[in-house]
């Protein structure tokens, strides 16, 4: 039940935490996996880096660190944000100081799932996504119904040749003119999850007819993540 409760605060909490950046201009770059030194390309180890909640949120949201991905097909963009458990906790707590006790308790509640934000966006940022290339009012109603109740079955993650269905799904309905729609997703975490090399998110776009949308996360992107600093 708790997993559904967090959904209601996640969308609003992101902007509140991200605004508390302070002196963290380097935090968003701390996770660049590759760097050049003496004409060599090396892997950056982020695991031993500790970041405050606001720095951690900024790091996760920085597309250079590999957890936020975007793909543009014609006039439509698709964006996927992987949300580690500690990131979800930062969004729930909405504070820049989290105690070890709270972190441990929240991890126990949330750690059996993995979470994502998926967005479908009008690439030019103008107009209302749900009304894009609309042919009738009936088609609009069908789009709303599909996004709210049917889209979940067209989303999955493929990992180690196993297809994992979307277990938690919430459509963030915007009641004003919005060029994007947001979907909060959850998938059951697999046993021995850390040993797999990669996982691929798959969405079959039936609304805008863009085909099969795929985002692949490497093992390094999913596990070479800084630690969340506690009190």
Reported as a single tens digit per residue, the pLDDT across 61-103 is 999 999 999 999 999 999 999 999 999 999 999 999 999 999 9
Whether pLDDT at 204 is above 60: yes
Structure tokens at 138: 């009936």
Rounded to the nearest 10 degrees, the angle between the axes of helix 85-93 and helix 53-61 is 130
How many Å separate Cα 29 from the centre of its chain?
18
**Dist. CA 73–CA 36, nearest whole Å:** 31
3-state SS assignment for residue 18: helix
In DSSP terms, 184 is beta-bridged to: 117, 170
Confidence class for position 25, pLDDT limits 50, 70, 90: very low
In DSSP terms, 81 is beta-bridged to: 68, 117
Confidence class for position 200, pLDDT limits 50, 70, 90: very high
Alpha-carbon Rg for the chain in angstroms: 18
For residue 195, count other CB atoms closer than 10 A to its CB. Answer: 10
pLDDT digits (tens, 9 = 90+) for 121-175: 999 999 999 999 999 989 999 999 999 999 999 999 999 889 999 999 999 988 8
Residue 31 has a pLDDT of: 45
Whether pLDDT at 191 is above 50: yes
C-alpha separations of 161 from 170, 190, 198, 220 in Å: 26, 12, 10, 19
**Dist. CA 171–CA 6, nearest whole Å:** 14
* Spatial strand order in the sheet of 198-205: 162-165, 155-159, 198-205, 211-218
**Dist. CA 85–CA 109, nearest whole Å:** 10
- Sign of CA pseudo-dihedral 31, 97, 3, 15: negative
In the 8-state DSSP scheme, what is residue 29? G
Rounded to the nearest 10 degrees, the angle between the axes of helix 2-19 and helix 85-93 is 70
């Amino acid at each position: 039940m708790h997993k559904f409760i967090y959904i209601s605060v996640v969308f609003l909490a992101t902007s509140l935490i991200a605004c508390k950046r302070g002196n963290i201009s380097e935090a968003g770059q701390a996770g660049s996996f590759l760097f050049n030194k003496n004409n060599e390309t090396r892997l950056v180890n982020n695991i031993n880096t500790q970041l405050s909640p606001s720095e951690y949120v900024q790091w996760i949201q920085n597309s250079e660190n590999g957890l936020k991905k975007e793909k543009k097909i014609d006039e439509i963009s698709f964006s996927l944000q992987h949300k580690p458990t500690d990131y979800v906790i930062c969004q729930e707590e909405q504070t820049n100081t989290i105690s070890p006790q709270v972190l441990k308790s929240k991890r126990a509640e949330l750690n059996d799932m993995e979470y994502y934000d998926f967005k479908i966006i009008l690439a030019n940022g103008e107009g209302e996504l749900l009304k894009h290339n609309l042919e009738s009012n009936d088609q609009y109603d069908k789009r709303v119904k599909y996004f709210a109740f049917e889209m979940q079955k067209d989303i999955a993650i493929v990992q180690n040749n196993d297809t994992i269905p979307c277990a938690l799904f919430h459509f963030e309905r915007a009641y004003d003119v919005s060029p994007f729609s947001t979907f909060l997703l959850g998938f059951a975490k697999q046993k021995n999850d850390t040993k797999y090399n990669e996982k691929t998110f798959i969405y079959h776009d039936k609304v805008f007819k863009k085909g099969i949308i795929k985002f692949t996360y490497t093992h390094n992107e999913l596990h070479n993540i800084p630690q969340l600093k506690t009190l």
